[in-house]
Amino acid sequence: METTIKAVHPCFDVSAKNMHARVHLPVSPKCNVQCNYCNRKYDCVSESRPGITSAVVTPFQAVEYLKELSNYLENISVVGIAGPGDPMANPEETLETLRLTKAAFPEKIYCLSTNGVNLEPYIDDLASLGVTHVTVTMNAVDPLIGGKIYSWAWHEKKIYRGTAAGEFILERQLKAIPKLKDRGMTVKINCVVLPGINEHHISEVAKKAAELGADVMNCVPVVPTKDTEFESIEEPSKMQMFALRAKASEYIKMMTHCARCRADAAGLLGKDFQHAYGILQEYALRVLDTKNERPYIAAATNEGLLVNLHLGESPSLNIYEQTPNGFHLVEERTTPEAGGGEMRWTELAKTLKDCRALLVAGVGGSPVKVLQASGIRVIQMTGLIDEGLEAVYNGKQIRNVKKADAFRCGETCRGTASGCA
């Protein structure tokens, strides 16, 4: 009997979870919604939840990473994009990644997970690129409840807060989901269960999901996460989840084997291939985007020969370009003064808007997030500037690359990406 597409998607069919692997490509760092339970923290090898990734890659890096990963995992049937932000808050990166990976791996199943805010304008594009499965996170169908879940939503230069955010998000979801079905896509609704906020409302979400034509629903117990509004919320018990799913199943088929995957998950559900994180980081350090229109590369250097300064301690950055006669120093640019928090790095991103990469000996997490969200690759290394330039412009490997500091969780950490104790 011929296997259907649905039968080999482990998230949509429980019978496939022990046979068919999936990989998430983390190409979408920006998000257009701030959920009160979400902290999009990068670079923690010991946590397993949405919003976590060991690196963010460009579309070109993503397809090369997938090629390398396929040498280790022969049973990858699904390629998905699920963050660490929202795929459709990064539409150019998402669509380009789908185009490149579809061309290289036409036999794979393609899917994405989104909050739905910016989904509708791109449904036809997604369908033409072969996306067959879409997950929409719908946590409430009552704006008052949604207003307690979302801090804000952003769309077309307008910010919605509180109840207005809940109303706007729901409105966008209600428009998008039927159109997904009109294009023949399989739709899953994710609903994060938040005790004291929406646990009494889950069956209403299930009823609405069924009315909209969704195929399956996944009730996801919240993961209390530090530095969020809901960091002290109590995670629902297994008995609570069983009862909620049973009631919701009166309206729609339920998924019960969710692994709450990272944005860079790879392997079987619940059995991620740990070596993938290292492979992803290596490809994130290879700037493979040969079509990048930004001509320059910035370097933090003390004397103009070596990459040897921490970004926070660099009063200026050298700017280089590639010419037919080798690498050329274009100019020296002053960096914003210390202080000002994240605004300092936002200003630096504007200063480096014509640079495709930044070479530094050290850098903190905040500037990495801001700069990479602006399309600037941040490469931590030591050694000759020319070696870093060769890596960026010509795809060569850097010998003296520094691993992300956040991976070093402490001497007592024995993490296996199953959650911090």
The 3-class secondary structure across 248-316, one letter per residue, is HCCCCCEECCCCCCCCCCEEECCEECCHHHHHHHHHHCCCCCCCCCCCEEEECCCCCCEECCEHHHCCE
Say which CATH class 6-282 falls into.
alpha beta
Instruction: Note the pLDDT tens digit of each residue in 261-286.
Output: 777 887 776 676 677 778 887 777 76
Q: Please give the pLDDT value at position 3.
A: 37
Does the N-terminal peptide bond of residue 84 adopt cis geometry, omega within 30 degrees of 0?
yes
Coil, strand or helix at 385: helix
pTM of the predicted model, to two decimals? 0.68
Residue bearing tokens 């699904």: 78
The ranges assigned to domains in the chain are 6-282, 291-400
Query: Pairing mode, if any, of strands 326-334 and 316-323?
Result: antiparallel
Of all residues in the chain, what percent are helix, strand and coil, respectively (each to 5)? 35, 25, 45
Query: Pairing mode, if any, of strands 109-114 and 306-307?
Result: unpaired
Nearest to 149 by CA among 65, 45, 29, 233: 233
Q: Please give the pLDDT value at position 260.
A: 66
Q: Please give the pLDDT value at position 50.
A: 63
Residue-wise over 114-142: b if at least 16 C-beta within 10 A, else e? bbbbbbbebbeebbebebbbbbbbbbbbb
Are 40 and 51 in contact, with CB atoms under 8 Å apart? yes
Look up residue 133 and give its DSSP letter.
E
Q: Please give the pLDDT value at position 9.
A: 72
- Burial of residue 287, with CB atoms counted within 10 A of its CB: 0-12 exposed, 13-18 middle, 19 or more buried: buried
Are 352 and 371 in contact, with CB atoms under 8 Å apart? yes
Report d(CA 172, CA 118) in Å as an integer. 8
| Rg, Å, the chain Cα set | 22
Report d(CA 351, CA 92) in Å as an integer. 22
Residue-wise over 388-402: b if at least 16 C-beta within 10 A, else e? bbbbbbeeeebeebe
Q: Please give the pLDDT value at position 172.
A: 97
Looking at CATH, the fold of the domain delimited by 291-400 is given as Nucleotidyltransferase; domain 5 (3.30.420)
Question: What would the two tokens of residue 240 be?
Answer: 């609570």
Interhelix angle 202-212/162-182, rounded to 10 degrees, is 40
Residue bearing tokens 């739905």: 116
Report d(CA 61, CA 284) in Å as an integer. 6
Regions of the chain with pLDDT less than 70: 1-7, 10-19, 40-51, 257-260, 269-270, 272-273, 286-292, 397, 399-421
